[in-house]
């Protein structure tokens, strides 16, 4: 473990660059998988071939021409098979097992009625194989069975989300917990990450769900009860990854950002519960206000930290960037300082101010979280308190904003007479007078088949951290993975053709590398060394490791991230055309609102 720790250090991560390109596929490479020891890399492609790469020799060892009739989406080494048996799933709805030595097919499962997007295995249950499909089912296969009947009465269904959630639900990704194999995470074509306990799931084609079989996780700003200002955007969980020790789970959310959830300290999304008589005690304790949020540990245990000289310098740099309206850079500095002192009211309030000014997807909600934490640490921080009101107003939670403002006037009567405060109060009252203002922009909820699903969504847990910078709207297989022995870093692909690496603690980007001419989908860190394999639209598998000299020009991270945020809110078709080399353009004398499509210059 010590060796792994020093091999994935910050200095090495900063040196990562392209080492090698493995070119034997004839189509997009949709999936990568390292063997447990890291000696071999498995890849599956649109060309329906599986290639086993010898990583030490940096060349292919075995090439299997599969019987699949569609794009391969997932490949896995079966545990304790000496890397000799692999499983694959594809767009033809089939799961196959292959013997690597003989290149022959061992078995084929044809239970699914939709594309099988992801397979999962566990070292703790080496004879079990799980599959998630766009038919809405999660299935479990016992490979010890001599024969498996893939008939309509097949009894290997663990979950049928089309029956219990919505008839439109599709499973896009699954992942088994590394230390508790009874827990399996499921991602679908919505914003929710579902963590099921399969011990509470029945093996039948009905797959009944009980109240305690699952925990739901979703970014708080995507809950309809938390925000009513969301555009009608589509969300899809494209990848799920557990941290090495299993204390966190990572969600790459298509249409938004990447989020981590703490499984040991689950956080509730921000909710406001006011007293029935609308009376607010003017005590210093925040719990008297009856607010609940994800900073429960701050409210109950933490004390306002005193900054050291390093943190003060970072805060000053952040303030300087904020003054210049470079809110992205200001947030970077505040993140660095908060990584050292996470419980400092000034840093939290300053970052909240920068977030609400930047206004990227989810920034207003994150600003609300920071502002609440700042008030919890310093109840007399009137700027942070007023910013809560502003955030609620921005989130179109007008009634909550007005009640919160009433409390602000009671606690800070002098500051409530300022021009800023009066204007905010007027804006809130004006918004409340607009009939149906909230209903017109409410996030559409899929129709639930039962009340249990609605209840589980209402109880969803909030994120502990988020990682911004990528654009994920054109493919539904884009990965995000923990990197390092302890998951010190996060690595993910993007529609812009780059691989991003964040520092997990600060959520700041430390490295961006151009990894594909179109889109980087797969990002798989090596299990023991500072080595990453990536793939995407190009028929190439690329290996990245620390290099003494950079082979490519350094990218302007801030410009790239800002461009990705803009593209994140664009039409997915436009973004797909852009990645294929086309850009929409309007002529000066054309009054039409429809964009023309021109070839991008090389």
- Domain containing residue 135: CATH number: 2.130.10.10
Identify whether 583 is part of a domain.
no
Q: How confident is the model at residue 291 (pLDDT cuts 50, 70, 90)?
A: very low
> Same domain, yes or no, for 144 and 103?
yes
- pLDDT tens digit string along 384-407? 999 999 999 999 888 899 999 999
> Same domain, yes or no, for 514 and 425?
no
Please state the φ and ψ torsions of residue 93, each to the nearest 5 degrees.
75, 15
Identify whether 117 is part of a domain.
yes
Q: What is the pLDDT of residue 223?
A: 83
Q: What is the pTM of this model?
A: 0.89
Range of the domain at 347: 306-438
Q: What is the pLDDT of residue 435?
A: 45
> How high is the mean pLDDT of the chain?
86
User: Contact at 8 Å (CB) between 188 and 166?
Assistant: no
> Same domain, yes or no, for 44 and 180?
yes
Identify whether 2 is part of a domain.
no
Identify whether 453 is part of a domain.
no
- The domain spanning residue 396 has which CATH number? 1.25.40.10
CA distance 577 to 275: 52
> Same domain, yes or no, for 376 and 320?
yes
How many domains are there within the chain? Answer: 2
Q: What is the pLDDT of residue 287?
A: 37
Q: How many CA atoms lie within 13 A of 279 on its CB side?
A: 3
> Same domain, yes or no, for 73 and 147?
yes
Please state the φ and ψ torsions of residue 120, each to the nearest 5 degrees.
-145, 145
User: Contact at 8 Å (CB) between 346 and 306?
Assistant: no
H helix intervals, 527-571: 557-568
- Picking from 460-469, 526-535, 569-578, 585-594, which range would have the lowest pLDDT averaged per residue? 585-594
> Same domain, yes or no, for 324 and 409?
yes
> Same domain, yes or no, for 229 and 132?
yes
Q: What is the pLDDT of residue 218?
A: 96
Q: How confident is the model at residue 165 (pLDDT cuts 50, 70, 90)?
A: confident
> Same domain, yes or no, for 97 and 225?
yes
> Same domain, yes or no, for 45 and 177?
yes
| Strand ranges (E), 455-519 | 461-462, 465-467, 480-483, 489-493, 498-503, 509-514
Q: List beta partners, residue 215.
A: 195
Q: What is the pLDDT of residue 451?
A: 76
Q: What is the pLDDT of residue 60?
A: 95
- Picking from 155-159, 504-508, 580-584, which range would have the lowest pLDDT averaged per residue? 580-584
> Angle at Cα 102 formed by Cα 97 and Cα 108, nearest 5°?
20
> Same domain, yes or no, for 384 and 524?
no
- pLDDT tens digit string along 234-288? 899 999 999 999 999 999 999 999 999 999 999 888 776 544 333 333 333 333 3
- pLDDT tens digit string along 180-208? 999 999 999 999 999 999 988 876 555 45
> Same domain, yes or no, for 314 and 259?
no
Which of 438, 454, 477 is the endpoint of a domain?
438
C-alpha distances (whole Å) from 484 to each of 338, 352, 456 are 22, 30, 33
Identify whether 4 is part of a domain.
no
Q: What is the pLDDT of residue 237?
A: 98
User: Contact at 8 Å (CB) between 85 and 106?
Assistant: yes
- Picking from 136-150, 275-289, 440-454, which range would have the lowest pLDDT averaged per residue? 275-289
Centre a 10 Å sphere on the Cβ of residue 75 and count the other Cβ atoms it contains. Answer: 26
> Same domain, yes or no, for 248 and 104?
yes
CA distance 293 to 271: 6
Identify whether 570 is part of a domain.
no
User: Contact at 8 Å (CB) between 474 and 519?
Assistant: yes
Q: How confident is the model at residue 506 (pLDDT cuts 50, 70, 90)?
A: very high
CA distance 457 to 464: 18
Q: How confident is the model at residue 213 (pLDDT cuts 50, 70, 90)?
A: confident
Identify whether 456 is part of a domain.
no
Of the candidates 244, 181, 206, the one whose C-alpha atom is nearest the C-alpha of residue 196 is 181
Which two tokens mark 373? 């934490």
Q: List beta partners, residue 248.
A: 262
- pLDDT tens digit string along 86-126? 999 999 999 999 999 999 999 999 999 999 999 999 999 99
- pLDDT tens digit string along 317-361? 999 999 999 999 999 999 999 999 999 999 999 999 999 999 999
Of the candidates 158, 211, 216, the one whose C-alpha atom is nearest the C-alpha of residue 187 is 216
Centre a 10 Å sphere on the Cβ of residue 81 and count the other Cβ atoms it contains. Answer: 17
Identify whether 574 is part of a domain.
no
Residues 411-420 have a mean pLDDT of: 94
Share above pLDDT 70 across residues of the chain, in percent, rounded to a whole number: 82
Strand pairing class (291-292; 498-503): unpaired
User: Contact at 8 Å (CB) between 465 and 294?
Assistant: no
């Amino acid at each position: 473990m010590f060796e792994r720790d020093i091999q994935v250090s910050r200095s090495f991560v900063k040196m990562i660059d392209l080492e090698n390109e493995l070119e034997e596929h004839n189509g997009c490479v949709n999936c990568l998988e390292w063997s447990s020891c890291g000696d071999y890399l498995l890849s599956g492609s649109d060309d329906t071939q599986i290639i086993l790469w010898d990583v030490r020799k940096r060349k292919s060892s075995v090439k299997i021409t599969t019987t699949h009739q569609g794009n391969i989406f997932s490949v896995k080494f079966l545990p304790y098979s000496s890397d000799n048996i692999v499983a694959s799933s594809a767009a033809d709805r089939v799961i196959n097992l292959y013997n690597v030595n003989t290149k022959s097919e061992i078995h084929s499962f044809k239970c699914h009625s939709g594309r099988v997007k992801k397979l999962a295995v566990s070292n703790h249950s080496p004879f079990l194989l799980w599959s998630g499909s766009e038919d809405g089912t999660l299935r479990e296969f016992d490979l010890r069975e001599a024969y498996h009947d893939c008939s309509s009465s097949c009894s290997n269904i663990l979950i049928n989300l089309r029956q219990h959630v919505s008839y439109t639900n599709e499973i896009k990704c699954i992942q088994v917990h590394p230390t508790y194999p009874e827990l399996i995470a499921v991602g679908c074509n919505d914003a929710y990450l579902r963590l099921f306990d399969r011990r509470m799931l029945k093996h039948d084609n009905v797959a009944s769900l009980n109240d305690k079989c699952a925990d739901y996780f979703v970014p708080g700003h995507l809950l309809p009860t938390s925000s009513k200002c969301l555009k009608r955007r589509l969300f899809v969980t494209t990848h799920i990854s557990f941290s090495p020790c299993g204390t966190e789970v990572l969600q790459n959310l298509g249409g938004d950002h990447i989020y981590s959830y703490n499984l040991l300290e689950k956080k509730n999304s921000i909710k406001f519960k006011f007293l029935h008589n609308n009376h607010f005690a003017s005590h210093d304790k925040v719990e008297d206000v009856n607010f609940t949020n994800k900073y429960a540990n701050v409210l109950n245990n933490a004390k306002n930290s005193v900054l050291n000289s390093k943190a003060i310098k970072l805060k000053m740099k952040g303030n300087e960037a904020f003054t210049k309206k470079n809110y992205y850079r200001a947030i970077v500095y505040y993140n660095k300082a908060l990584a050292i002192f996470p419980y400092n009211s000034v840093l939290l309030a300053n970052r909240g101010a920068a977030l609400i000014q930047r206004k990227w997807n989810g920034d207003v909600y994150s600003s609300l979280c920071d502002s609440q934490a700042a008030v919890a640490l310093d109840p007399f921080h009137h700027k942070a308190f007023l910013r809560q009101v502003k955030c609620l107003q921005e989130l179109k939670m007008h009634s909550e904003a007005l009640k919160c403002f009433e409390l602000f006037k009671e606690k800070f009567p002098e500051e409530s007479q300022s021009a800023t405060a009066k204007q905010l109060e007027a804006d809130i009252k004006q918004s409340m007078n607009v009939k149906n203002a909230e209903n017109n922009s409410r996030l559409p909820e899929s129709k639930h088949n039962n009340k249990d699903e609605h209840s589980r969504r209402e109880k969803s847990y909030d994120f502990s951290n988020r990682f911004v910078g990528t654009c994920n709207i054109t493919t539904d297989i884009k990965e995000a993975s923990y990197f390092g022995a302890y998951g010190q870093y996060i690595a993910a692909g993007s529609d812009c053709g780059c691989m991003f690496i964040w520092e997990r603690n600060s959520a700041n980007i430390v490295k961006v590398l151009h990894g594909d001419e179109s889109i980087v989908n797969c990002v798989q860190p090596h299990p023991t060394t500072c080595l990453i394999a990536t793939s995407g639209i190009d028929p190439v598998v690329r290996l990245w490791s620390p290099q003494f000299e950079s082979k490519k020009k350094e990218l302007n991270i801030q410009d790239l991230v800002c461009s990705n945020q803009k593209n994140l809110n664009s039409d997915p078709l436009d973004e797909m055309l852009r990645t294929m080399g086309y850009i929409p353009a309007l002529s000066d004398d054309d009054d039409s609102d429809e964009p023309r499509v021109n070839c991008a210059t090389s």
